[in-house]
Each structure stands twice: as structure tokens, then as C-alpha cells.
């Protein structure tokens, strides 16, 4: 709220600036002289003063119900839910709202008609499984080394600041910069002594915790929403959860999802590929296969067709859900490997000859040679010996090719 966009359980949503949204947001409710600290709770359909856990659960339920991409969704209602959650899920904003209402929150944050620069986003990679992609999930994660406003000095850096002597409180200085040999120009730059703040603290007045910086490295707990069907390397943006800096709008957290390889399934878009080895009997007489899907269910796959080696057969709509359209699914494709028997007795061979179509195995002349199984190891030894003999043959040195 108030210039801080927010990400719901379905990914990133557009940023709503204060001038465009806040006035419209509050004009939807009648103004009261008493402290107004109930309306945001009413939007989330929970009792006033509910704890943050209740707020988050109510937000997830209502966001799914009113998301504009879902059947029966409502864009206006969804935006109200987002803004109410943004205030009530933040401990500091919730505390102010509960005591002073929405007008007190506006005064405290001083955001009306004021624009802030935004901190750089905090970026990270996060691994998820293919099952997460199929089912959807929420992952909790603790971020370290996130810049937070120092609570000891409230981001001020210390007490009793004085004007910087280098820039005389102007925050910038004139610097002589060489742009090429023999040519120098004067440029303005942030003062290096006060780091563009215009004020400095004496050593004894500096905050002992942040040493005058106004910020410290801290930990942040985040919850990463993983939508069904999400593509690899998709960026989930968590607005306002990143770096903090006095005078700046909170930075965002960019989470890049990396999908780990599944031991059985291979993903191609919304389709899944699966390899299965079956017996020769199953390939000829029909197949009835039990298969565990990514939602931990067992499905029966059956066919009476003859299955050829390396052939691919398809089960419709048993792939992954479509991203942003989870009611539609891709297909599941199964590639079959046929496991042949290693040996058969003569009686079975005779029966197969009688049953299966095709020519009989009879000799037509005396020029008959017996087939043997190819031995890769023996072949490699034979090839290496040939190459060794060629290197040792003196007649091969300087031999020219014949021209025909």
C-alpha cells in the first residue's frame, strides 16, 4: 500500500502508485470522526485485531477466490484485498493501524504526495521440484545479508549530526575529472566524506550498532508462492520485502525458480515424457500398467495395440497444468523399451514359428555363416592392436597416395 506494490500467491501484480490508488481506496468508505481501524479487517472478512497468521490465511483464501484470472474473479475486490493484506501483514503498519486507524497510518508514514527512490532488489535463486510445479506450493525461506534499517537509531546513524565540512551540508562537491590527457573538466558528484547525506556524526555520537550507516545486515523471512505450471527460471517478485534504506522505498526480492530434474519425468512445456520398459509378451498381447503421477495418485494405463520398440504412446491431459490456466493440462507421453528374452528352448521356438507370421528359417544353400554376439571389448582391443602395428610399420613412413 501507499506506493508499495505487493505480490499475491499467483505471482507478481502491477504496482499501484499512491496518487492513483490511495484516494480511490479510501473514498469507498464513509469518513468517521472516530479512529477507523476496522475496515481493512472487514475487507479480509476477519474480526478486528486478528493476528498476522489469520490475516495471511484470509488473504490466501480470498485472493484465490477473487483473482481476475479465475472464473468469477473481481479485479476491484482483488485490489482491495491486496492493499488490506499489505498493511495488516506488516507488523509495524498493523500496529499503527490498530491504534490510530488509516488516517494515523497515512500521517505516520508521510507518503501522501511524496515520491521515494527505491532500493535495489535483492536477487536469489531457489530450487523447486517438478512435483511443486504440478501441485503448486508455498516455500518458506530465510534470507541473510539483507540490508535493514537499524532499529537502535531508527536509521538515523547516530545523534546530534553536524554539517559535513567537505560539502558544507550541500551533499555534493565539485570534482576535477580527467576525461582525456590534457583535458580536465569540473563535475558534480556526491560528497565522499558524508556519502551524499550532507551531515556527519562525531565518533562519539555514532550509533554503536550500525556505526553511522543507518543500516545493518539482517535476516528476513519470506514465503515464496509457486504457481501450478510455472516455467523454469521464472522470477517471483516479492514487493517491499528486500533491502531498506532511510529515505528510500523498501526494495523488492526477486526469486528465480530453478526446476530440479525429476528421476522419471522429463518436462517439455506442459507435456511430460516418461520411459517404461515392458516385456515382449506385453508388447504383443496388450498392456495394463499402473503409473504414479506427480500428484501422488495411481492411474491405470492400458492398450491392446502391439507396441513396437521405442514407440511413443500418449495419455491425454495427464501432463502439467498450464501456467496461469491451471484448469487445462498438457499430455503424458510414454516411450516404451521392449525387454526380449535372453534364451528360448526349442519347444517354445517351434510354437512361435507356428503362431507368428513370416518365413521359416531354412537354409537355401551351403554358404552359411553363424552369427555371433558382438563383443565391444574384443573389438576395441583388436582396433588398438591394428593402430599400434601401423605406427611400427616403417613402410608407412613417407608413403605417397596413388592417383587414379
Please state the separation of Cα 94 from the chain's center in Å.
Answer: 29
Please state the separation of Cα 216 from the chain's center in Å.
Answer: 27
What's the fold here for domain 1-115? Answer: Helix Hairpins (1.10.287)
Q: Indicate the length of the chain as a whole number.
A: 404
pLDDT for the residue numbered 6: 36
What's the fold here for domain 265-339? Answer: HSP40/DNAj peptide-binding domain (2.60.260)
Number of Cβ within a 10 Å radius of residue 259: 18
How far CA 2 is from CA of 25, 41, 45, in Å, comes to 10, 17, 22
Angle between helices 91-109 and 75-88 (to 10 degrees): 100
Residues of the chain with CATH 1.10.287.110: 1-115
Residues of the chain with CATH 2.60.260.20: 265-339
CA angle 314, 317, 318 (to 5 degrees): 75
pLDDT for the residue numbered 315: 95
User: Cβ neighbours of residue 197 under 8 Å, at least 6 residues apart?
Assistant: 157, 164, 171, 191
Digitized pLDDT (tens) for each residue of the chain, 404 residues in all: 333 333 333 333 333 333 333 433 444 444 444 667 888 898 899 998 899 999 999 998 998 888 877 777 777 788 888 888 888 988 888 888 888 887 777 766 654 434 447 788 999 999 999 999 999 999 999 999 998 888 888 778 888 888 888 888 888 888 887 777 778 788 888 888 887 778 888 878 888 888 878 888 889 999 999 999 999 999 998 888 899 887 777 888 999 999 999 999 999 999 999 999 999 999 999 999 999 999 999 999 999 999 999 999 999 999 999 998 889 999 999 999 999 998 899 999 888 888 888 877 666 666 777 778 888 888 888 888 888 877 766 555 555 555 54
DSSP string for 96-143: HHHHHHHHHHHHHHT-TT---EEPPPEEEEEEE-HHHHHH-EEEEEEE
Number of Cβ within a 10 Å radius of residue 53: 9
Amino acid at each position: 500500500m501507499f506506493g508499495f506494490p505487493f505480490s499475491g500467491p499467483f505471482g507478481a501484480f502491477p504496482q499501484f502508485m499512491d496518487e492513483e490508488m490511495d484516494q480511490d481506496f479510501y473514498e469507498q468508505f464513509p469518513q468517521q470522526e472516530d479512529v477507523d481501524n476496522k475496515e481493512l479487517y472487514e475487507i479480509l472478512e476477519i474480526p478486528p485485531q486478528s493476528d498476522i497468521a489469520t490475516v495471511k490465511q484470509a488473504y490466501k483464501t480470498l485472493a484465490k477466490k477473487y483473482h481476475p484470472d479465475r472464473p468469477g474473479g473481481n479485479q476491484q475486490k482483488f485490489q482491495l484485498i491486496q492493499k488490506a493484506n499489505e498493511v495488516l501483514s506488516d507488523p509495524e503498519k498493523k500496529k499503527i493501524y490498530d491504534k490510530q486507524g488509516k488516517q494515523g497510518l497515512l500521517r505516520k508514514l508521510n507518503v501522501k504526495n511524496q515520491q521515494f527512490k527505491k532500493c535495489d532488489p535483492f536477487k536469489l535463486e531457489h530450487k523447486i521440484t517438478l512435483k511443486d510445479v504440478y501441485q503448486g506450493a508455498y516455500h518458506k525461506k530465510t534470507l541473510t545479508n539483507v540490508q535493514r534499517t537499524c532499529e537502535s537509531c531508527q536509521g538515523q546513524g547516530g545523534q546530534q549530526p553536524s554539517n559535513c565540512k567537505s560539502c558544507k551540508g550541500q551533499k555534493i562537491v565539485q570534482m576535477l575529472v580527467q576525461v582525456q590527457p590534457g583535458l580536465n573538466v569540473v563535475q558534480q558528484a556526491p560528497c565522499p566524506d558524508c556519502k551524499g547525506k550532507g551531515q556527519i556524526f562525531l565518533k562519539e555520537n555514532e550509533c554503536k550498532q550500525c556505526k553511522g550507516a543507518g543500516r545493518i545486515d539482517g535476516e528476513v523471512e519470506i514465503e515464496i508462492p509457486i504457481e501450478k505450471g510455472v516455467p523454469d527460471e521464472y522470477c517471483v517478485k516479492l514487493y517491499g520485502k528486500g533491502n531498506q534504506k532511510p529515505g528510500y522505498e523498501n526494495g523488492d526480492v526477486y526469486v528465480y525458480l530453478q526446476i530440479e530434474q525429476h528421476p522419471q519425468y522429463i518436462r517439455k512445456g506442459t507435456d511430460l515424457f516418461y520411459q517404461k520398459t515392458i516385456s515382449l509378451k506385453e508388447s504383443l498381447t496388450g498392456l495394463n500398467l499402473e503409473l504414479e503421477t506427480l500428484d501422488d495418485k495411481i492411474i491405470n494405463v492400458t492398450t491392446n495395440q502391439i507396441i513396437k520398440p521405442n514407440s511413443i504412446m500418449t495419455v491425454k491431459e495427464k501432463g502439467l497444468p498450464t501456467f496461469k490456466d491451471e484448469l487445462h493440462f498438457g499430455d503424458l507421453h510414454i516411450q516404451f523399451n521392449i525387454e526380449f528374452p535372453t534364451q528360448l528352448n526349442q519347444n517354445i521356438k517351434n510354437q512361435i514359428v507356428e503362431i507368428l507370421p513370416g518365413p521359416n528359417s531354412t537354409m537355401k544353400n551351403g554358404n552359411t555363416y553363424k552369427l555371433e554376439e558382438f563383443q565391444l571389448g574384443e573389438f576395441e582391443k583388436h582396433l588398438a592392436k591394428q593402430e599400434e602395428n601401423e605406427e611400427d610399420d616403417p613402410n608407412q613412413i613417407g608413403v605417397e597416395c596413388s592417383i587414379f
